[in-house]
Structure 1
Amino acid sequence: MTAAHSRALRAAAGLAALSVVALTSAGAGLPPTGTTAAPVATAATTSTTAAVGPCLSAADGHRVRAGSGLDGVDPNSLGAAGTEHAQQAEDRASARAQQRRTSSARLGKTTIDVYVHVITSSKGQGDVSDKRVKKQIDVLNRAYAGKTSKYSTASPFSFRLRGIDRTRSSAWYRWDAPTELQDGDDVAPKVALHRGGPDDLNLYTAALTDGLLGYATFPWETRDGLDPRRDGVVVLGTSLPDGSARGYDRGDSATHEVGHWLGLLHTFENGCRTPGDLVDDTPAQADGDNVFSCSKLDTCKAKGRDPVHNFMSYGDDACLTRFSKGQVARMSEQWQLFRSPAALS
């Protein structure tokens, strides 16, 4: 089971170290607190639960800038084993839903509460202002409402900012993506800061290492033994709107990663091979350097040009503008199977 799904970029040298600072109220019921220092690292609090099915590297599925690579790890494919495991998890959840007679109705408008955790260095480097956080929520709402392109499909999801907290910790600020479910770099900040349940989005910003733009947990992962406190999305702080991640500074790293959090795979998952990304209306797309292109391409023999403008491809932020009807249907289904209150009852 993949510990996380991710979007990456080889960061330029000299990225400012990020740090986590004060807790502020950004919604109902979150009183402001003072500056918070990270708890002393008993943070190596590791989850000992085992994954079900093949354990894949979190690097599988990173989003990268063209020509950047991730130290020999193939970033472009979850692989056949991971895709099969996702299908098996869905089959099990569908069977449970049928027994409870849930998940059959069309999903109505669904508001997702968002808790944003800004992690900075001990000196406060890498802070993300409340204004930029709110712009990020606006970016998510436009993207998931289908307002970014006349070719995009509106989803039932909207996002409501419930709180912003800031934590100063140089160790947490320099955040490594997990390679296994027991990876300590991913454990301590999430276990300490996570709020809500599987139907709440926890969004972390930090100075991700290895060129990462972000990564996310899939909806089915907590069913596979992942500590539920580790559920969420992690993005490079400079990728939020008005950041300094050139080409990736409009907030669509979060759009892409939330797509994974809602159950979407990359459009180029499995390349030209079946079952692709498990969505019928996203044309097959080879999984080579072409995935970074915003040009008209047709890299597979199957019908349809490469979906280079899809949020789940690897173009830069200006290139990504749409979700397909099939992707919206899949996100809705995944929500009902794994994240809705009914699925958890």
Structure 2
Amino acid sequence: MLSASGEPGAPPPSPHTASATGPTAPASAPEPGGTASAPRAASAPYGSAPVGSGPRAASGGGPITPASDARAAAVVAAGVRPDGSCGPDARRRGVHSYDGTDAARALVGGGVLGIWAPPSLEPPRDPSRDPARDRAALRTSQADTLIAALHRALTGRFGTADEAAIDRAERRAAPIVIPVRFHAIADGYAGRLTRATVERQIATLNDAYSGRRGTGAADTGVRFRLAGYEVTSNPAWFRRPDRYERQMKSALHHGGPGTLNLYTAAVGVKVLGFSTYPQSARDRPTEDGVVIDYRSVTGGEYRHYDHGYTAVHEVGHWLGLFHTFENGCDHPGDHVADTPYEAVPTEGCPRSKDTCWDDGADPLHNFMDYAWDACMREFTPGQGRRIRSSWRAFRTASGN
């Protein structure tokens, strides 16, 4: 069997549903000149005490908590010392910025304190933490730029950027059906997903986006159809899909901006997948698509990440959604009105979590958070509207 990096190593954990014990992923093999990452053990569920800001003005800012020593309290609670250095519990996440810069960010409260460092300077990662869902975290300015591009595209086409008004005028009874070209990258037997496995993953996407995974979950109006499935044996692409992403996609990509190209490979234990946003689909067409770890598919080998929801999450980015914890407790959050603000990503599957003073409990069951798969079950109506708006603006020429 293969380790999480795709190198020969210890066998991966057996698939089963989430439990009180945390995920244990196999240790990744060392890169030349590097060291192997340690196996991941359980992370403690995040507490329910709110640490976010009070009601927010559009300009953001303001105290993290009402107490006079609030900044220090919030910083220490997040594992980052008041002097800016990282303690052992800092909530570091691997990210990939919109301009292609890899970095590490510690999220504290409403984002008042942000620590960025290139990967070569990143402190050793805490092995007790869950892997990040993806590398798609954005700076506030990047999220604002993507939303501005969406509004310009909608205004140019419909004469208005009012997404609700456009949705009322344009939405039809039949759902948007997205053809999926599924590319399973393999190294010998490893990664060679069967067609039955691929079809189960497509079924999971349809259940999630139709609202069938949870009571009160929204139907986004999107469905998926398997249009092609192929296995490509390439050890380099399989082991380092991040390094060879452009080469891999250029060789395998099919279809236009309305076709989902979904790739599986040994993405690793630090992140489980990555995706492009729809705003770049026409400018960089062959780079468009979603990459996920082959062990995170429906029925896969990754404990707590075996329901197929990594694909659901990454496809959400491909359709224009941000993380629910975007901007922390600061306005405008993830730019969707009906997702409560959230200071930090959800880890594990806590019974409850409320990290911001206003706007209700954290959306820990939302597919765009970082909870274990067993904890995820819903999109909101506002997220469905954003998906349809992004589709009309960037992924179709005729509208749906």
User: Same fold by TM-score, threshold 0.5 exceeded?
Assistant: yes
1:106 matched to 2:173 = no
Look up the equivalent residue of 1:191 and give its one-letter code.
Answer: S
Question: TM-score, normalization: structure 2?
Answer: 0.65
Deviations 1:52-98 (A, max 9, x none): x972536689xx9972568xxx9684121111111221122123213
* Equivalences for residues 301-312 of structure 1 within 5 A: 301-312=357-368
Q: Post-superposition shift, 1:216?
A: 0.9
Equivalent residue letter for 2:381: K
The one-letter amino acid paired with 1:13 is A
Contact 1:76/1:287 (8 A) holds in 2: no
Judge conservation of contact 2:338–2:380 (CA < 8 Å) in 1.
Answer: yes
Cα deviation code 1:285-333 (max 9, x no counterpart): 0125x45443211110112100000000100110000001111111111
Instruction: Check the 8 A contact 1:268/1:276 in 2, yes or no.
Output: yes
Query: Structure 1 runs of 4+ off > 6 angstroms?
Result: 100-103
Question: What CA distance in whole angstroms lies between the structure 2 residues aligned with 1:255 and 1:282?
Answer: 17
Deviations for 1:222-259, whole angstroms, at most 9, x for unmatched residues? Answer: 35x4x201111111001111210111011000011111
Residue aligned with 1:161, SS: strand
Distance 1:197 1:60 in 2: 33
Percent sequence identity over aligned pairs: 37
Structure 2 unaligned runs (5+)? 1-22, 30-96, 106-124
Q: Is the contact made by 2:365 and 2:371 (CA closer than 8 Å) also made in structure 1?
A: yes
Could you say which structure has the larger radius of gyration?
Answer: 2
Say whether the 8 Å CA contact 2:319–2:390 is kept in structure 1. yes
**Which consecutive residues of structure 1, in runs of 5 or more, have no partner in the other structure?**
1-8, 16-52, 178-183
Q: Give 1:77-156 correspondences, 5 Å limit.
A: 77-98=137-158, 104=166, 105-108=169-172, 109-121=175-187, 123-156=188-221
1:212 Cα deviation from its structure 2 partner: 2.1
1:186 and 1:194 map into 2 onto residues whose CA distance is: 11
Aligned partners of 1:332 and 1:112: how far apart in 2?
12
CA-CA distance at 1:125 after TM superposition: 2.0
Question: What SS does the corresponding residue of 1:212 show, helix, strand or coil?
Answer: coil
Structure 1 position 265 matched with structure 2 position 322: yes
2:26 is equivalent to residue 12 of structure 1: yes
Give the letter aligned to residue 186 of structure 1: E
Distance 2:196 2:288 in 1: 25
Q: Tell me if the contact between 2:24 and 2:303 (Cα under 8 Å) persists in the aligned partners.
A: no
Are 2:154 and 2:161, in contact at CA under 8 Å, matched by a contact in 1? no
Structure 1 residues 55 and 276: alpha-carbon distance in aligned structure 2, compared to 1, 3 A threshold: same
Return closer, same or farther for 1:300/1:126 CA change in 2, 3 Å cut-off.
Answer: same
**Cα-Cα RMSD:** 2.9
Q: Who is 1:158 aligned against?
A: 223
Alignment match, 2:313: 256
**Does the C-alpha gap of structure 1 residues 319 and 222 become closer, same or farther in structure 2, counting only changes over 3 Å?**
same
Aligned-residue offset at 1:211: 2.5
Amino acid at match of 1:119: I
Aligned residues: 283
Q: 1:292 to 1:185 in 2, by over 3 A?
A: same
1:67 aligns with 2:129: yes
> What is the CA-CA distance between 1:101 and the residue it aligns to?
11
Q: Using the TM superposition, give the Cα deviation of residue 210 of structure 1 relative to its aligned residue in structure 2, in angstroms.
A: 5.5
Q: CA deviation at 1:221?
A: 1.6
Q: Would the aligned equivalents of 2:210 and 2:222 in 1 still touch at CA under 8 Å?
A: yes
Distance (Å, rounded) in 2 between the aligned partners of 1:203 and 1:163: 10
Question: Where does residue 168 of structure 1 map in the other structure?
Answer: 233
Query: Is this contact kept in 2: 1:115–1:195, CA < 8 A?
Result: yes
Q: Is the Cα–Cα contact under 8 Å of residues 66 and 292 in structure 1 kept in the other structure?
A: no
The residue number in structure 2 matching 1:330 is 386
C-alpha contact (below 8 Å) 2:239/2:267 kept by paired residues: yes
* Bigger RCO of structures 1 and 2 (CA < 8 A, at least 6 apart): 1
Q: Secondary structure at the match of 2:286?
A: helix
Cα 1:88/1:76, change in 2 over 3 Å: closer
